[in-house]
Amino acid sequence: MVSTPRRTVLTGLGVLSPIGSTTDAFWDALVASVCGVRTVSLFDAYELPCRIAGEVPGFSAKGMIDKSYRRSLNAMARTVELGVIGSQLAMQNAGIAKGTVPPARIGIEFASLMGATDLNDMAAASKLSSPDDETVSHALWGSIGLPEITPLWMLKYLPNMPACHTTILYDIQGPSNTQIPGDTSGLVALFEAARILRRGTTDVMVVGGSEARINPITLSRHNLFVELSKRNDDPAHAVRPFDAARDGTVLGEGSAVFALEELEHARGRNATILGELVGWSAGVDRGKKGPGLARVIRNALASANIQPSDVDHVNAHGTGTTAGDAFEARGIAEVFGRDVPVFAPLSRFGNLGAASGLMELAGSVLALKHGLLPGTLNHEKLAADCPISVHTGAPRPVTKPYAVKVTYTDLGQCAAAVVKRWSDA
């Protein structure tokens, strides 16, 4: 007798984003075409070529975190704070309180990268170790510099800290892991969580991604090595996915966290189901030519047992970079041609790195739930090297039950997820 595979459903969502930090606010902003890209305010970025980004306005972890865990904020960088608060919001949205799921039956998969050090954490040590204010003396660094650095310094910035703090906050004793393959990290975390659920190891998985890229070190580095938009005088229209006039992306910050749950467990507690994860795939398109990405998308469709014609829309990464958009469009077009609309939400909040995949996916999950697909922001004229059909303008009705989320990294790593509109039928 062949057993029926355990189905995986999405029962909670927490978002902290430049366009809204509740699920309802995030969705309302998507429908209203609100853009959260603005002039950087977290520090003085005036000297940088690109000084615009997607910041989470008014974010205060101290005002949001569970009071029992507030003291731990001293050991959290902003990336970690965003991840932990996002997890808290997702669990609240799912209606899962600490202790309501046996600790060994709940796990976590998180996407995060090494955080950039806050300048203040290194300022005193650097000053003491630089007698001429230019060159760092290794001898002085070892003798009088290091004592100025807090013993918890490294623990503030490690990629696994969002997951670690969340496991403590919610007494999560099931599988715990952190994924780090750049912009694909969030989807990779989602896929691994689904595998854990399907093999019966847990009943609930917290799946999230967080990134805080708006700091002097990270933004300066990306200005040197990444194609960032120079539309500093018009930030709301800076990122232009698949557009003929695109000139680069912008960075963003935030977190997106889902509660992923085995279907019968969710039904047993009368949970509200947002959607179902039905297929996925990951791989590499070395050289970023397109066929490798197309293969990953086809594999995801095959794992969901559907055809391209079953898909309502493709949710693209759509960074607004010259080479990136052309590569992604080639991969999508090889599978869907121009028959399936493409929705690219990143232009609303910037490239969130490890948080991008799940934040963008949240847009499609909510679109399927509400039966309405928002338009892509800032796409005016289709670029000749992007042979796809981009959905723009007013929201349109969702007409088919499936959406495909696509993402990739600059190294050619690719991932694709298939989500389905929830129905008891």
Both 365 and 387 in one domain: the answer is: yes
pLDDT digits (tens, 9 = 90+) for 386-422: 999 999 999 999 999 999 999 999 999 999 999 999 9
pLDDT digits (tens, 9 = 90+) for 224-247: 999 999 999 999 999 999 999 999
> CA–CA separation, 152 vs 229, rounded Å?
36
Contact residues for 10 (Cβ-Cβ < 8 A; gap 6+): 258, 259, 260, 261, 273, 274, 275, 276, 277, 365, 419
- Cα separations (Å) of 394 from 31, 204, 388, 397, 407? 8, 36, 19, 10, 24
Structure tokens at 53: 């980004």
Say how many domains are in the chain.
3
**pLDDT score for 340:** 98
In-domain check, residue 323: yes
Read off the pLDDT band of 1 (50, 70, 90): very low
Both 250 and 362 in one domain: the answer is: no
Token pair 């120079």 is found at 230
Residue where one domain finishes, among candidates 268, 295, 326: 268
pLDDT higher than threshold 90 for residue 149? no
Both 333 and 393 in one domain: the answer is: yes
Residue where one domain finishes, among candidates 201, 233, 268: 268
The CATH number that applies at residue 333 is 3.40.47.10
Both 226 and 351 in one domain: the answer is: no
Contact residues for 135 (Cβ-Cβ < 8 A; gap 6+): none
In-domain check, residue 3: no
> CA–CA separation, 162 vs 75, rounded Å?
11
Residue where one domain finishes, among candidates 108, 130, 148: 148
> CA–CA separation, 112 vs 114, rounded Å?
7
In-domain check, residue 273: no
In-domain check, residue 425: no
Structure tokens at 400: 């088919």
Both 160 and 144 in one domain: the answer is: no
In-domain check, residue 67: yes
The whole domain housing 297 covers: 279-420
- Which stretch of DSSP H or E encloses residue 268? helix 263-268
Read off the pLDDT band of 203 (50, 70, 90): very high
Find the mean pLDDT for residues 325-336: 98
In-domain check, residue 257: yes
Task: Identify whether the C-beta of residue 330 lies closer than 8 Å to the C-beta of residue 289.
Answer: yes
Q: Is 407 helix (H, G, I), strand (E, B) or coil?
A: strand
> CA–CA separation, 293 vs 84, rounded Å?
32
In-domain check, residue 354: yes
Both 240 and 289 in one domain: the answer is: no
In-domain check, residue 193: yes
**pLDDT score for 127:** 84
Both 297 and 378 in one domain: the answer is: yes
pLDDT higher than threshold 90 for residue 135? no
Both 346 and 400 in one domain: the answer is: yes
pLDDT digits (tens, 9 = 90+) for 70-108: 999 988 999 999 999 999 999 999 999 999 999 999 999
Looking at 199-262, list the stretches that DSSP marks H as alpha helix, in order from N- to C-terminal side: 216-225
Both 44 and 180 in one domain: the answer is: yes
Both 248 and 342 in one domain: the answer is: no
Structure tokens at 310: 């079953």
Both 288 and 389 in one domain: the answer is: yes
Both 76 and 112 in one domain: the answer is: yes
> CA–CA separation, 250 vs 347, rounded Å?
8
Task: Identify whether the C-beta of residue 193 lies closer than 8 Å to the C-beta of residue 107.
Answer: yes
